[in-house]
């Protein structure tokens, strides 16, 4: 994934965090309203990028990785799959992945 617009790239991680509810919710969400509130001017550009990042996170598998190493491994794979994504976005995706995979 390549993001040419530097403003959109800078907002990408925060947009993911807003969409999934990281730091606000106890369980991950898919909240377009929260994304719009985060960045109304770039909502139309970011929504498909957020969903693409979620798809990339959903594709991460950890066959043979012990649970205690899961978060670090998932984060490393997300950084590899989504170059340019900041730590806020990587953390939000890994949090969502862990909740979905391990039930919280």
- The boundaries of the domain holding residue 42 are 6-102
**Confidence class for position 67, pLDDT limits 50, 70, 90:** confident
pLDDT of residue 69: 85
Residue 1 is assigned to a structural domain of this protein: no
Return mean pLDDT, the chain: 93
d(CA 69, CA 54) in angstroms, rounded, equals 21
Least confident of 44-48, 64-68, 95-99: 64-68
d(CA 14, CA 35) in angstroms, rounded, equals 9
d(CA 35, CA 74) in angstroms, rounded, equals 23
Residue 17 is assigned to a structural domain of this protein: yes
pLDDT of residue 64: 80
Number of compact structural domains in the chain: 1
Mean pLDDT of all residues in 76-102:
95
């Amino acid at each position: 994934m390549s993001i040419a617009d530097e403003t959109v790239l800078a907002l990408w991680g925060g947009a993911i965090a807003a969409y999934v509810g990281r730091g606000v919710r106890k369980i991950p969400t898919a909240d377009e309203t929260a994304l719009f509130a985060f960045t109304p001017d770039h909502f139309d550009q970011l929504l498909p990028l957020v969903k693409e990042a979620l798809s990339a996170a959903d594709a991460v598998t950890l066959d043979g990785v012990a649970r205690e190493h899961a978060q670090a491994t998932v984060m490393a794979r997300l950084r590899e799959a989504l170059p340019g994504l900041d730590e806020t976005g990587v953390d939000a995706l890994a949090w969502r992945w862990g909740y979905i995979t391990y039930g919280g």
